Amino acid sequence: MEKTETLTVALVLAAVVSVAGIIVYMKITAKERLRISTTTSLYETGLLEAIRNQYETKHPIDIQIISRGTGLALKLAQDGDADMILAHAPSEELPFLTQGYGVCRKIIAYNFFALVGPEADPAEIRELTTFEALTKIVEAGRKGQAMWISRGDESGTHIKEKELWEAAGFAWENLRTETSWYVEACKGMGGTLILASERSAYTLTDMGTYLSHSKAGLIALKVLISQGEELLNVYSAIAVNQTRHPHTNFSGAINFIKFLVSDEGQQLISDYGKDEYGQPLFYPAVKPLQENTDPVADSIREYAFFNGTECPVEYRNGHPELYG
């Protein structure tokens, strides 16, 4: 064989070996991807970031978080642009299941919404019930004495707000036309709180986001009403139905949901925020529902169960182990 031919063969073999090495390296180092479409409160408080960091240390996976209001988060999942959803709007989660978009719903945590407002409290809602307070805010708003900032973005918090207005005897569609005192922020929870603080207005917030923003000095709002079963806020995890979207990472979603409801995951939820805020931002929901010793379990069932269960059998997609 001539010298030139020998060199050519050597170069070809080197190229083949190099390409093969790259392919093997990519197979070894390539990480599984999991896309989570989530409500803003779990992201803005830092809880989901803490969960992601802990999960990724034990699993070769790249978790991508997409933070939106629940309405948009559900839409991303419906379009197959996420592998799973974290939401807190049971009234919207049920059609997500029944219309074939989601499966394997698990309730993972809860906390409470709160009515917050300026220290001066111009509507004088302190120590009132939630519905009495909303009535007083409307009365004060119409007199030019108070302002309400609404999320206005079809998020879980906005959906809860509309439910509370209706229960208090007001048509939300009519209130939103009274723009002199009722303002739609169309922002995430953090942005809405900041706007309410800037305008010395009232708003509805989840306690987790309120505590994190208050601690950071971003808002000057005070919690005025935080008690009442009607303010319960329940968080659920739902996998996207792979039958509807075959490209989604269904196994990755199921494994992550199992972590969220595991003792480790629930302890992480329970501990998050205690050191910094003096109380947890979220409370684990699995044990209260299993052991049925905490009165909140009945409230969760009444508010967030469908036909007596967190996920009807027909939407469990062959994963009975999640429901023990």
Distance of alpha carbon 152 from alpha carbon 163, whole angstroms: 13
Domain co-membership, 117 together with 224? yes
Domain co-membership, 50 together with 132? no
Domain co-membership, 69 together with 103? yes
Distance of alpha carbon 103 from alpha carbon 122, whole angstroms: 46
> Which pLDDT does position 12 carry in this prediction?
40
Q: Is position 27 within any domain?
A: no
Q: Is position 42 within any domain?
A: yes
Task: Pick the last residue of a domain from 183, 209, 230.
Answer: 230
Domain co-membership, 183 together with 261? no
Q: Is position 129 within any domain?
A: yes
Distance of alpha carbon 307 from alpha carbon 6, whole angstroms: 76
> Which pLDDT does position 5 carry in this prediction?
53
Residues recorded for the chain:
324
> Which pLDDT does position 14 carry in this prediction?
44
What is the span of the domain harbouring residue 51? 33-111+231-322
Domain count of the chain? 2
Q: Is position 174 within any domain?
A: yes
Q: Is position 296 within any domain?
A: yes
Tens-binned pLDDT, residue by residue, of the chain (324 aa): 555 555 444 444 444 444 444 343 334 446 799 999 998 889 989 999 999 999 999 999 999 999 988 888 999 999 999 999 999 999 999 999 999 999 999 999 999 999 999 999 999 999 899 999 999 999 999 999 999 999 999 899 999 999 999 999 999 999 999 999 999 999 989 999 999 999 999 999 999 999 999 999 999 999 999 978 999 999 999 999 999 999 999 999 999 999 999 999 999 999 999 998 888 999 999 999 999 888 999 999 999 999 999 999 999 999 999 997
Contact yes or no for 54/104 (Cβ under 8 A):
no
Task: Assign residue 47 the CATH number of its domain.
Answer: 3.40.190.10
Domain co-membership, 107 together with 121? no
Which three-class secondary structure string do you get for 140-179? HHHCCCCCEEECCCCCHHHHHHHHHHHHCCCCHHHHCCCC
> Which pLDDT does position 29 carry in this prediction?
45
Helix 156-167 with 130-142: angle, nearest 10 deg: 90
> Which pLDDT does position 70 carry in this prediction?
85
Q: Six-digit token pair at 133? A: 């307070």
Domain co-membership, 199 together with 134? yes
Residue reference for tokens 């501990």? 271
User: Residues 6 or more apart from 240 whose CB is under 8 A from it?
Assistant: 77, 80, 82, 83, 84, 85, 101, 102, 103, 248, 250, 253
